[in-house]
């Protein structure tokens, strides 16, 4: 078990259960329809590519697949660094799949939310060095994934946006989304950003510290690789303990409130008024195309 897990008394509770034979399997490359992982055993760096067109939306199936892949890499001692990126041309991830929250049963909503929690717990608490290579727009859940990493490199394109825009959909980012944003950009900026549901262009995101670096689109991945080698020069144990010190309190807050958080989400999202807001937002997304 990694240092983050050892230091957190609850952290194993949150883990997706992977059958022993599956988790012990050591493969360098794995492919699945929605996610592709390339692990370079000479550098110990894995690149996890999200490849679920049209927008890498985070459905239950996608999140399950994501967590299984992350768990496998976490357990593989040869893997020390993870770069998260997208194979799509203009989108990193459109965030949670809105269709998972619209017109679905409370049971399915609960299962979905548990998978969202799991994704964040695994990513934010990872022992690996995690770098988001943000090569396209990254709203809401896509932004959560990005700020769940240790470092963010974004394509320098003012048309790409990133942020927690939940209020624009008439929904509310839960406390652990908020905490992750506060930990990244500070309280005041997070407050403005969350209340307004603000999406920032890549240059604006750099200015407020939501991302760490902008580079031309075709250099996002190579810059992530270069940055990774600098991070990997730091001894793992020292970096991991420091990471845990910075993140443990935030992680433990969700771990000790997981069930209540699921109940809150399900009762909120299934309200008629919230369902109406989601429908209007979906219609707006469709109408933008016309």
> Which residues are designated catalytic?
96, 141, 165-166
Candidates 8-16, 36-44, 54-62, 217-225: pick the segment binding ligand CO8 (CB under 6 A). Answer: 54-62
How far apart are CB 194 and ligand CO8 at their closest, in Å? 11
Our CB check for ligand CO8 shows the closer of 44 and 110 to be: 110
* Residue 232: strand pairing partners: none
**Residue whose C-alpha is closest to residue 121's, from 222, 212, 24, 12:** 12
Q: Does 289 bind ligand CO8 (CB under 6 A)?
A: yes
The DSSP secondary-structure symbol of 35 reads: E
Candidates 34-42, 78-86, 210-218, 265-273: pick the segment binding ligand CO8 (CB under 6 A). Answer: 265-273
Distance separating alpha carbons of residues 173 and 166, to the nearest angstrom: 6
Q: Do residues 149 and 94 make contact, with C-beta atoms less than 8 angstroms apart? A: no
Would you state the structure tokens that stand for residue 244, as one six-digit string? 């845990």
Distance separating alpha carbons of residues 15 and 11, to the nearest angstrom: 7
How far apart are CB 86 and ligand CO8 at their closest, in Å? 11
Across 113-227, the runs of DSSP E, i.e. the strands, are 129-134, 138-139, 151-155, 161-163, 200-201, 213-215
Using CB under 6 A, pick the residue from 71, 74, 76, 97 that binds ligand CO8: 97
Looking up tokens 């991070």, which residue turns up? 231
Sign for the pseudo-dihedral over CA of 102, 105, 111, 113? positive
Give the number of residues in contact with ligand CO8, rule: CB under 6 A: 28
Q: Do residues 86 and 92 make contact, with C-beta atoms less than 8 angstroms apart? A: yes
Q: Does 172 bind ligand CO8 (CB under 6 A)?
A: yes
Using CB under 6 A, pick the residue from 5, 52, 130, 137 that binds ligand CO8: 137
Our CB check for ligand CO8 shows the closer of 27 and 289 to be: 289
Distance separating alpha carbons of residues 10 and 7, to the nearest angstrom: 9
Distance separating alpha carbons of residues 179 and 147, to the nearest angstrom: 10
Q: Does 166 bind ligand CO8 (CB under 6 A)?
A: yes
Q: Does 139 bind ligand CO8 (CB under 6 A)?
A: yes
Virtual torsion, Cα 170, 274, 97, 147, nearest 10 deg: 40
Q: Does 190 bind ligand CO8 (CB under 6 A)?
A: no
Candidates 133-141, 200-208, 221-229, 237-245: pick the segment binding ligand CO8 (CB under 6 A). Answer: 133-141
Using CB under 6 A, pick the residue from 49, 91, 123, 215 that binds ligand CO8: 91
Distance separating alpha carbons of residues 256 and 240, to the nearest angstrom: 22
Residue of minimal CB distance from ligand CO8?
95
Q: Does 54 bind ligand CO8 (CB under 6 A)?
A: yes
- Catalog residues that contact ligand CO8 under the rule CB under 6 A: 54-55, 57, 90-91, 94-99, 137, 139-141, 165-166, 169, 171-174, 265, 268-269, 285-286, 289
């Amino acid at each position: 078990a990694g240092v983050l897990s050892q230091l957190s008394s609850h952290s194993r509770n949150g883990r997706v259960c992977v059958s022993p034979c599956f988790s012990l399997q050591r493969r360098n490359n794995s492919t699945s329809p929605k996610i592709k992982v390339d692990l370079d055993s000479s550098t110990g760096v894995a690149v996890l590519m999200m490849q679920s067109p049209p927008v890498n939306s985070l459905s239950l199936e996608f999140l399950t697949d994501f967590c299984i892949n992350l768990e496998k890499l976490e357990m593989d001692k040869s893997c020390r660094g993870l770069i998260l990126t997208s194979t799509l041309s203009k989108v990193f991830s459109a965030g949670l799949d809105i269709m998972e929250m619209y017109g679905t049963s409370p049971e399915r909503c609960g299962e979905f939310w548990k998978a969202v929690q799991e994704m964040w717990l695994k990513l934010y608490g990872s022992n690996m060095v995690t770098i988001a290579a943000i090569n396209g727009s990254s709203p809401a859940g896509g932004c959560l994934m990005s700020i769940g990493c240790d470092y963010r490199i974004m394509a320098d394109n003012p048309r790409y946006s990133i942020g927690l825009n939940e209020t624009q959909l008439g929904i509310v980012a839960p406390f652990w989304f908020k905490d992750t944003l506060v930990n990244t950009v500070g309280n005041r900026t997070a407050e403005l950003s969350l209340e307004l549901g603000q999406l920032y262009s890549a240059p604006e995101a750099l200015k407020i510290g939501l991302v760490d670096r902008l580079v031309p689109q075709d250099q996002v991945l190579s810059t992530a690789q270069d940055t990774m080698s600098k991070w990997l020069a730091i001894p793992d144990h020292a970096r991991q303990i420091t990471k845990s010190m910075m993140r443990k309190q935030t992680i433990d807050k969700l771990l000790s409130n997981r069930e209540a958080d699921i109940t809150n989400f399900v009762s909120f999202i299934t309200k008629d008024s919230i369902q109406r807001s989601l429908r209007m937002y979906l219609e707006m997304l469709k109408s933008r195309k016309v």
